[in-house]
Amino acid sequence: MAYKFNEIKLDKGMYSESGKSFEQVLESLDPNENYKGTPLEGMDAFQRQLKRFDIKVRGAGSDTVEKFFSTSESAVLFPEYVSRSVKAGMEEGNILPSITASVTHFEGMDYRSIYSAASEEDKSLRYVGEGALIPQTEIRSADHLVKLHKRGRMLVASYEAIRFQHLDLFSVMLRQIGNQIMRMHLEDAIDVMTNGDGNSNAAVQLSVGGNELGGTAGTLTYSEMLNFWNSFDPYTMNTLLASPDVMMQILKCSEFQNPLTGLNFQGTGEPGNPLGAKLIRCSALPSGTAIGLDKGYALEMVSAGDVAVEYDRLIDRQLERAAITSISGFAKLYDSASKVLKV
């Protein structure tokens, strides 16, 4: 059987089609649905191109970087390989899905989100008599634009230095770049949750030793955590980010040391939580700090495009100072859905 993927003409212009990624352009020329019921079912268009040029990117038998540049057409695949490896690194240990209510894809650098302009009286579910006006909730656009930030790393390596490196090992280096980029996005998210997105919506900060939480500053007990959890009504604190030192104090509470919690932690690596919230250790937080949030209402992530690589440089083997970037920003949805705990 003749497969169409062997006939596609690859060129660098496929990276610059407006509104489409290289993967989408390739898929439009070689649809996945054409391979249902064949040995190639389950592969996407890019993976079929790797097969076409016999390029193995993982495993003990992976090829060297040089294999991508054996022909001018196979070289066109190299930037997509770099992009996919970086994205794989961004997904490793990515906690943003655990703290964002929604993800909006937006083309541009300034984004205006929306919010609910409702008073406590508006939020209440009151009895509506026959013919009476139904209480309303007004949705408005935010006063200030949410700024998106370009985060990235520079790939600095000569072609001569990496041409004989196996792709399996080179992928590890690229995944680490992705991991570093995602760490930057996480720091942006924490900054917005703590200080707001420019729309006068900084998080309420509650301190151990204060009137609302009680206790002794510098020491966190289960009692203060209960008071913190209780402060979220009408929201539910279902996620708790904690700096490493605060996480240790939480796990040392006797309420976290029952046998079932221990078995769960040993079996899954996920610490149990008597408060019912997902506990996430986060080294991007300052020491002595935790952020509690209602994951479904606290934060919107705005993403502008996919991971971008300087494809011209990579295709032409000019790896020195080739930028790999990702653009995103964050907007707060409901002010009271996230709060900061200071120990």
CA distance 215 to 219: 7
- Predicted confidence band of residue 124 (pLDDT cuts 50, 70, 90): low
CA distance 81 to 68: 10
Which residue type occupies 234? P
Which residue type occupies 19? G
Question: Could you tell me which of 200, 222, 225, 221 has the C-alpha nearest to residue 212?
Answer: 225
Cα–Cα distances in angstroms (integers) from residue 112 to residues 108, 161, 333, 334, in the given order: 11, 45, 12, 15
Q: Do residues 149 and 127 make contact, with C-beta atoms less than 8 angstroms apart?
A: no
pLDDT of 272 > 70? The answer is: no
248-256 contacts at long range (C-beta below 8 A, 24 or more positions apart): 249/219, 249/220, 249/343, 250/220, 250/225, 250/279, 253/220, 253/221, 253/222, 253/225, 254/222, 255/222
CA distance 214 to 287: 20
Question: Could you tell me which of 325, 261, 328, 259 has the C-alpha nearest to residue 82?
Answer: 325
Cα–Cα distances in angstroms (integers) from residue 20 to residues 30, 88, 343, in the given order: 15, 20, 47
Cα–Cα distances in angstroms (integers) from residue 95 to residues 175, 185, 190, 315, in the given order: 16, 10, 11, 33
Q: What is the pLDDT of residues 50-93, one digit of tens each?
A: 999 999 999 888 999 999 999 999 999 999 999 999 999 999 98
Place of tokens 């489409």: 20
For residues 4 and 260, which has the higher predicted lDDT (pLDDT)? Answer: 4
Place of tokens 């604190």: 237
Query: For the whole prediction, is pTM greater than 0.75?
Result: yes
Per-residue tokens: 322: 């080739």
Instruction: Identify the pLDDT of residue 220.
Output: 93
Place of tokens 């009151």: 126
| Residues of the chain above pLDDT 90, percent | 62
Question: Pairing state of beta strands 289-293 and 278-281?
Answer: unpaired
pLDDT of 286 > 70? The answer is: yes
| Residues of the chain above pLDDT 70, percent | 85
Cis ω for the linkage preceding 286 (within 30 of 0): no
CA distance 196 to 298: 11
| Helix, coil or strand: residue 41 | coil
Q: What is the pLDDT of residues 181-193, one digit of tens each?
A: 999 999 999 999 9
pLDDT of 271 > 70? The answer is: no
Instruction: Identify the pLDDT of residue 120.
Output: 54
Strands (DSSP E) along the chain, which ranges?
A: 102-105, 110-111, 114-117, 138-141, 146-147, 149-155, 204-207, 239-242, 278-281, 289-293, 299-303, 308-309, 322-332, 338-342
Q: What are phi and psi of 43, to 5 degrees?
A: -90, 145
Please compute the mean of the pLDDT values over residues 212-221 and round it to a whole number: 93
The conformation of residue 337, written as its DSSP 8-state character, comes to G
Instruction: Identify the pLDDT of residue 234.
Output: 86
